[in-house]
Structure 1
Amino acid sequence: MTGSRPPAVRLRHLAAPLFALTVTLAAASPAGASTGHPTPTIVDTARGHGTVVSYTFDDGPNPVDTPRLLAVLRARHVRAVFCVQGDHAREYPALVRRIAAEGHLLCNHSLKHDDLGTWTVDQIRADLLATNAAIRAAVPHAHIPYFRAPFGSWGATPEVAAGLGMQPLGWRLAITDWEPPGTDELVRRLMDGITPGAVVLMHDGGGDRSQTVEAVNRTIPLLRAAGYRFTLPARGH
């Protein structure tokens, strides 16, 4: 079939590359471009006012579900935060590069997902620096604005992370997707548990996350229909 696309189709056709350019430029922004300065306060709120929400994903990347999740976020025009494990960044550097190139923010989630809650300041600093080095081996000069403690076991990590330029990132809603209960149940937990300003904790690594990916795909349009806007987490108080 020949001929030009109808106007609406042409607009959609042009929107994808324009969005890709926008998020790529955002990923390349220098560290100083972020608003606010890191503090030891654990933030669990999304930027902006009213019905805003932030999606965050832990324990990746993994070669099966992270690409599927990135495709969903790209199609839905949502930016998210990926809390990356250093050992996974070493194993799958191309996926870390893709996360950054598609405009998402990177978060330090420790080197091996150890419980850092009882570690000394020096031990924590060494782990966080090693994790940042693993991420930057994949994405040189990467901006890593957040740190999230494995298991939410914070100990002395907030002070160390802030000293290294990373805001401690918590959450208001965890849908317990590390024990996959079925996509319908994940959608229900998210829709029932969401509150304005929430940072939502989900996972793209640590196991089969196909249910999470589908729940993300289904809830984005539902939340938008309910008046929600997708933003990034706050940066200090």
Structure 2
Amino acid sequence: MPQPPHERDVRGTPSTGGGGTSRRSGPGCAPRKGTVRCPTGGDRSAPPKVDPSIVHSSDRPGKSLNITIDDGPDPVWTPKVLEVLKENDVKAVFCMIGPHAKAHPDLVKKVVAAGHKLCDHTVSHNTAMDKKPEGYQSEQILDAQKMIEDAAGGAKVEYYRAPGGAFSPYSRQLAADHGMRPLGWNVDSKDFERKGTNAIVRTVENEVREGRPTVLFHDGGGERSQTVDALKELLPWMKEQGYGFGFPQR
């Protein structure tokens, strides 16, 4: 599976993430008597209004970080990540790939039961999403949302993260129209490069010190023992530095 580069439109324009004012909600999605008709089939209750700009800031006041975990759930690594988070009393956002969530509903439910939040990371993890037709983007986002919510047994997906940061004005508005805030990152642990636990720790420590609140890790897409070990070091260190932990603003 292709691994994400740095998010394309985080740095420089963190509040807008590329702009755009499209109000379309995707092919086949039209308001109808208080519901939204979607291409995934069936009617859904209309979601609350959500800001379509890419969010990085925390909903917790003061010195705070958002921990985000991508590309799972994975039957080997997600439980290990959950255990480290539990040991440190830290909540995170799990950005899940739709078919992975569908294949492992028990893990999705464990994530929710532990108090973590859910994020849509598409069906196919295509890092060229922003170059694809709107119909493709709609299917990737809305089908994944349904897979994750079905696996969760009722919990809502509150965020959307484009693979590799490949947001488009259309995809951001589509996600917002379906109750999901577009979610960026501005600290990339680069754990997918697997250069060693120490390299991951150094990268995060250096970038967090620059006042960037949203940190990206992975629990899927490959062997993640270095990520687990890095989290074991980083979460206590973050607390020692006076950081608290919140969720990205909605």
- TM-score range relative to shorter protein: 0.7 to 0.9
Are the equivalent residues in 1 in contact too, given 2:57–2:214 (CA < 8 A)?
yes
* Structure 2 residue 196 is matched with structure 1 residue 182: yes
In the alignment, the residues of structure 2 paired with residue 142 and residue 186 of structure 1 have an alpha-carbon distance, to the nearest angstrom, of 32
What value does the CA root-mean-square deviation take over the aligned residues? 1.4
How many pairs does the alignment contain?
200
Match of 1:231 in 2: 246
Gaps of 5+ in 2: 1-47
The structure number with the bigger radius of gyration is 1
* Structure 2 residue 73 is matched with structure 1 residue 61: yes
* Structure 2 residue 57 is matched with structure 1 residue 42: no
Match of 1:118 in 2: 131
3-state SS, counterpart of residue 54 of structure 2? coil
In the alignment, the residues of structure 2 paired with residue 105 and residue 148 of structure 1 have an alpha-carbon distance, to the nearest angstrom, of 13
Match of 1:199 in 2: 214
3-state SS, counterpart of residue 162 of structure 1? helix
Q: TM-score, normalization: structure 1?
A: 0.81
3-state SS, counterpart of residue 129 of structure 2? coil
AA at the equivalent of 1:105: K
Q: TM-score, normalization: structure 2?
A: 0.77
Shift of 1:196: 3.5
Write 1 or 2 for the structure with the bigger share of helix: 1
Shift of 1:93: 1.5
In the alignment, the residues of structure 2 paired with residue 167 and residue 137 of structure 1 have an alpha-carbon distance, to the nearest angstrom, of 19
Gaps of 5+ in 1: 1-35
Are the equivalent residues in 1 in contact too, given 2:109–2:153 (CA < 8 A)?
no
* Structure 2 residue 231 is matched with structure 1 residue 216: yes
AA at the equivalent of 1:120: P
